[in-house]
Structure 1
Amino acid sequence: MNPAVKIKAPSVPAGRLRYLQPTELRALLVDCPDWLRPIAGLAAFTAMRRAEVLSLRWRDVDINGSRIPLPQTKNGDGRTCT
């Protein structure tokens, strides 16, 4: 008898993962006002949440390393956007 028979498989978390298609992203950026286009592009290409983008400060951005460290995210963990 297989002892693993009584073990339940882990459940898949709710939600879905979806990326913008290139045509959708282009339409989004074209429709943005000029001042918002870099912010929308940053959010789209780094998958940063609105609160993460709005809380950014220049001292948080590592321009030489081409990354943005986010010490605390919504789930409590840190991550780095490149």
Structure 2
Amino acid sequence: MLKESNVRKGFFEHHEYLALKKALPDYLRPVITFAYHTGCRKAEILNLTWNRVDLKEGTVRLMRRKTKKAEPFTLRKQYCKS
């Protein structure tokens, strides 16, 4: 049997995400929404800087730990509103 390593545990079901989002203060809701929709880990979000965000193009270049490269991620249009 193959050994699994670095397996993520604790995925949120959609109803759990909505309950958590509702319970959070307003200033944290965009963070949990971004995390939920991108699958980013805490460190990926905390290390994100504005020079990797392009709201006009609707992309974020996420630094992935495994590849050590910044990979583009397309944002949903509602996240790019000013």
- The DSSP-based 3-state class of the residue aligned with 2:40 is coil
- The DSSP-based 3-state class of the residue aligned with 1:80 is strand
Q: Please identify the structure whose Cα radius of gyration is greater.
A: 1
Distance 2:15 2:39 in 1: 17
- The DSSP-based 3-state class of the residue aligned with 1:35 is helix
Paired residue for 1:65?
57
What is the total number of aligned residue pairs between the two structures? 72
Distance 1:80 1:25 in 2: 24
Confirm whether residue 80 of structure 1 aligns to residue 72 of structure 2.
yes
Equivalent of 1:28 in 20, 38, 49: 20
- Structure 1, unmatched stretches of 5+, are 1-9
Q: Structure 1 residue 35: deviation in Å?
A: 0.8
- The DSSP-based 3-state class of the residue aligned with 2:54 is coil
Q: Structure 1 residue 46: deviation in Å?
A: 0.7
Distance 1:34 1:40 in 2: 11
Q: Deviation string for 1:43-70 (max 9, x for gaps)?
A: 1111111111112222210112212112
Paired residue for 2:47?
55
TM-score of the pair, normalised by structure 1: 0.68
